[in-house]
Amino acid sequence: MVHILPHWNWQGFEGKEIPVWCYSNCESVELFLNGKSLGEKRFSETEELHLEWRVPYTLGTLKAVAKNNGKIVCVNQVETAGEPAKVVLVPDRSVIKADGNDLSFIKVMITDKKGRVCPNAEHLIKFSIEGEGKIVGVDNGDPVNHELFKASERKAFHGLCLVVVQSSNKKGTIHLTAKSEGLKSAEVLIKTR
């Protein structure tokens, strides 16, 4: 496993050093910026739980290549996203029980035209629902957000939020719509059985 932090959208910081952290359970990680190696670091050389590079910001792709015994085990990358263009809905399940209790957790993403999450997007997203279900909660992961969870709208935090829908006691379909000003809206259907 290898994971890069943070995102790679730092417009206005061109040329300034950004600390980049890589977490991995492998022996070493090599970091690349736009295909150019920024060096390989080993966990045996540090007592930290992560490896760190200080990378001058430029648009593009940061790629971490994790290795064991010199062989590539896994890769993770982050790319500079373009301007926010659309809302995307991804349910954890597209079929739930029609028992009045079952839930579907729907990940909400603000993405650019290429489908990359826009980590600086904070658009207000409004939800509407029809059919055999109701919205029982919304959240965005922002630790300083004190808005009510029981609502039909939520601002995105780092381009993301969550809406939770609950089934009714009837079999059928739940139709959820997400809209945000200036962005292409999204819809998802969830079956209740």
CATH of the domain at 33: 2.60.40.10
Contact predicate 165/97, CB 8 Å: no
Exposure string of 33-55, with b = 16+ CB inside 10 Å and e = fewer, is: beeeebeebebeeeeeebbebeb
Reply yes or no on whether the pLDDT at 46 is more than 80.
no
Q: Which pLDDT score is estimated for 48?
A: 80
* Shared domain check, 37 and 109: no
> Does one domain contain both 187 and 106?
yes
- What is the spatial distance between Cα 94 and Cα 105, in angstroms, rounded to a whole number? 10
Let me know whether 188 and 93 are in one domain: yes
- Among 46, 79, 112, where does a domain finish? 79
Q: Which domain range does residue 62 map to? A: 2-79
Taking residues 154-171, report their average pLDDT.
98
pLDDT of residue 44: 77
- How many structural domains comprise the chain? 2
59 and 153, same domain (yes or no)? no
Q: Using alpha carbons, list the distances in angstroms from residue 180 to 138, 147, 156, 190.
A: 15, 18, 10, 21
> Chain-wide mean pLDDT for the chain?
97
Do 68 and 114 belong together in one domain?
Answer: no
Determine how many CB atoms are found less than 10 A away from the CB of residue 99: 12
Task: For residues 148 and 140, give the distance between their C-alpha atoms in angstroms, rounded to a whole number.
Answer: 11
Q: Say whether both 169 and 120 belong to one domain.
A: yes
pLDDT at 45: 65
Tokens of 79: 């790319």
Q: Are residues 40 and 90 both part of a single domain?
A: no
Q: Pairing state of beta strands 133-139 and 160-167?
A: antiparallel
For residues 29 and 104, membership in a common domain is answered with no
pLDDT confidence bin for 49, thresholds 50/70/90: confident
Mean pLDDT over 123-134 rounds to 98
Are residues 60 and 19 part of one domain? yes
At residue 47 the predicted structure's pLDDT band, cuts being 50, 70 and 90, is: confident
Flag whether pLDDT at 114 surpasses 90: yes
Asked if 126 and 47 sit in the same domain, the reply is: no
98 and 37, same structural domain?
A: no
DSSP SS3 for 114: coil
Among 79, 104, 124, where does a domain finish?
A: 79
Same domain, yes or no: 111 and 187: yes
Domain stops at, among 79, 96, 111: 79
pLDDT category at 116 given cuts 50, 70, 90 is very high
Residues 73 and 134: their CA atoms lie apart, in Å, by 43
